[in-house]
Structure 1
Amino acid sequence: MNAAPEQTTLGDAVFESVAELFSLLSTPVRLKIISALCHGEKNVSELLGEIDTTQPNMSQHLSTLCRAVCTQVAIEMDPAAAIDPAERLRPGPAR
């Protein structure tokens, strides 16, 4: 008789982490942002040119992604802005 395959029990922390990831990816705008960043570094203006949303909405979603450590944000001076730094978004590994 064959023994049943050994099962691994996953802890609650694993399910909570997966649920957080699914929640993060449940918004179409965030998926579009991630897709756009897969093609290279973009600033907020470039993302707004590709994704049909308002600047405040974009900022809210970028903030959510940054808190989730799915993107790395570096502040660089944007010569075109002259005064305000532009956020440069670089794709980074999810943790």
Structure 2
Amino acid sequence: MKRTSDRLGDMQPSLQQMPDDHHLEMVSFYFAVLSEPTRLKILTALRHGERTVNELAAEIEAKQSNVSHKLKMLHQSRILVRRKEGTQVYYRIGDEATMTLCREVCRVQAIVMRRARGEVHDTCRLPDQRCSISGGTCHWQDAHPLAVHDSTQGAD
């Protein structure tokens, strides 16, 4: 028979299961990269395919130097990949997992905003590939309805 302290020890995560500081720093950096609106605009602009720095700057209405700086960080974090063709450098999404994460956050935020405004929030559109969010409205291409299960509905 196990002693009580052994059973309690089994319920608590061991230090071996805890990620090391280096791993946590990398995760923190990843989320920091995604925490800046201009970088999110760049990702949104790239959802339709690769673009050059100048094309991105024009599309998101930002200075080319600022876009270049943001692209460097996104590339270093391996969210974007680039290819050179002559004198042009083309950037594209290289990490679909990041775009999946962005879609899920976008979907949840749209539902939260609808709920805060008292609007119907039992459905939200889920994109086929990528999304962006603006003013509480999801904007997706070829969107498909998604039923969202809300445990608060029907509760008094």
Report the secondary structure of 1:20's partner residue. Answer: helix
Flag structure 2 segments of 5+ consecutive residues without an equivalent.
Answer: 1-6, 98-156
Structure of greater relative contact order (alpha carbons < 8 Å, 6+ residues apart): 1
Segments ≥4 residues shifted beyond 4 Å: 2-6
Flag structure 1 segments of 5+ consecutive residues without an equivalent.
Answer: 78-84
RMSD: 2.2
Kindly, what percent of the aligned residue pairs are identical? 35
Corresponding position of 1:66: 75
Distance 1:38 1:5 in 2: 43
2:57 maps to amino acid: L
Corresponding position of 1:50: 59
1:21-69, CA deviations, whole angstroms, 9 ceiling, x for partnerless residues? 1111121111111121122111222212211210111111111212222
Query: TM-score, with normalisation over the residues of structure 1?
Result: 0.74
The alignment covers a number of residue pairs equal to 87
Of the two, which has the highest radius of gyration? 2
